[in-house]
């Protein structure tokens, strides 16, 4: 997706060794026009599949998920909530997710009634790096016995192991851009 690559080249900030900040247009300030273009591209990729619900995780996936839901004819969005709850509620699916960037482990949760075996779920997120957030979402999808329609990622760090881990579990990923490496602060796309 060339528009997105251009945007990343122009406004993305590399923080050595391997953090890419896109908070000018994707996950703090959000360019809603870009969001729409991203969503249209996901519609092209997954439009042939049955999709009844868009699933993501708070906070930076939410705007993207809504934009994709619009393109699929205004279907519902569901976002997993983050938190460290001491009590495990019976009415929630939960997963432990480790963030390597922040070096913390948190609980993600989804109310059981909103994710059922009737659902055909398209999972959307802004980044795929070590794949831990996506694996957590998929674990909750497995608990709910949903049908996975696809996994759509905006920016994949191709040099980290997310794709490999997901593949090992039997899941294919569609990423709009894949970063091969950061070299002297520059972004090299695959």
Instruction: Give the C-alpha distances (Å, rounded to integers) separating 74 from 41, 51, 52, 77, 125.
Output: 16, 11, 10, 9, 18
d(CA 176, CA 126): 10
The one among 13, 49, 96, 111 contacting its own copies by CB under 8 A: 111
d(CA 136, CA 139): 5
Query: Interface with its own copies by CB under 8 A: which range of 61-69, 93-101, 158-166, 181-189?
Result: 61-69
Query: Interface with its own copies by CB under 8 A: which range of 60-68, 122-130, 136-144, 176-184?
Result: 60-68
Distance between the two ends of the chain, CA-based, in angstroms? 12
Minimum CB distance to its own copies smaller for 92 or for 173: 92
The one among 22, 38, 51, 67 contacting its own copies by CB under 8 A: 67
90 binds its own copies (CB under 8 A): no
Interface residues for its own copies in 118-157 (CB under 8 A)?
Answer: none
d(CA 26, CA 7): 10
Pair 177, 183: CB distance under 8 Å: no
d(CA 123, CA 51): 10
The one among 4, 38, 69, 108 contacting its own copies by CB under 8 A: 69
40 binds its own copies (CB under 8 A): no
77 binds its own copies (CB under 8 A): yes
The one among 4, 22, 35, 187 contacting its own copies by CB under 8 A: 35
81 binds its own copies (CB under 8 A): yes
Handedness of CA 129, 10, 56, 39 (dihedral sign): negative
d(CA 79, CA 133): 12
Query: Interface with its own copies by CB under 8 A: which range of 106-114, 123-131, 135-143, 151-159?
Result: 106-114
Task: Report the interface residues with its own copies, using CB under 8 A.
Answer: 23-24, 28-33, 35-36, 58-59, 62-63, 65-67, 69-70, 74-79, 81, 110-111, 113-114
């Amino acid at each position: 997706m060339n528009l997105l690559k251009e945007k990343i080249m122009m406004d993305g900030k590399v923080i050595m060794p391997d953090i890419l900040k896109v908070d000018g247009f994707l996950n703090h300030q959000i360019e809603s026009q870009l969001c729409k273009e991203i969503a249209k591209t996901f519609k092209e990729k997954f439009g042939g599949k049955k999709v009844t619900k868009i699933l993501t995780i708070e906070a930076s996936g939410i705007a993207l998920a809504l934009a994709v839901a619009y393109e699929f004819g205004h279907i519902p969005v569901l976002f997993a909530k983050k938190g460290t709850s001491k009590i495990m509620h019976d009415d929630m699916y939960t997963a432990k997710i480790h963030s390597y960037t922040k070096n913390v482990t948190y609980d993600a949760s989804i109310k059981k009634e909103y994710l059922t075996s009737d659902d055909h779920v398209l999972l959307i997120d802004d980044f795929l790096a070590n794949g831990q957030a996506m694996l957590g979402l998929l674990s909750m999808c497995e608990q709910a016995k949903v049908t996975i329609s696809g996994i759509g990622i905006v920016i994949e760090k191709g040099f980290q192991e997310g794709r490999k881990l997901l593949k090992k579990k039997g899941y294919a990923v569609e990423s709009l851009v894949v970063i091969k490496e950061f070299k002297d602060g520059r972004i090299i796309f695959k």
